[in-house]
Amino acid sequence: MRVRLSKSFSFEAAHWLPTFPEGHKCRRLHGHSFHVDVVAEGPVSEETGYLMDFGEIKKAIAPIEDALDHRCLNEIDGLENPTAEHLSRWIWDRIAEEIPCLFEIRVQETCTSECVYRGEALSERLCSA
């Protein structure tokens, strides 16, 4: 059996988007209540009955949540242009080794705006049955 599971976390942060045109509202400093889903996919172990412990995902994302919560994202190394696209890849890059079956990162900055990132070489990462 193959499954896809997700663990969510959220954080509050401010940012501005320096590549947006002058006068655009996103070029000004503003904040969001970000919601992030970390999604893993792979086969369910016959021995354990699960793909992975949700606690393993929680442990992997805890330092990410701490690094982002109540911060100005532009001041974090690697997030000088903190678009949802860059943020999703930034998170992926920091947890991919700890979550071998990582399938996607979903970053939602508003209730109607979301970015889904699946890595650069997803087919090489998927756990095999």
Q: Which residues are catalytic?
A: 26, 70, 109
Residue 91 CB neighbours (<10 A): 23
Q: Where are the beta strands (DSSP E) in the chain?
A: 2-15, 30-43, 71-72, 102-110, 113-117
> Which tokens in the block code for residue 21?
């045109």
Cβ proximity of 40 and 52 under 8 Å: yes
> How far is it, in rounded angstroms, from Cα 110 to Cα 60?
24
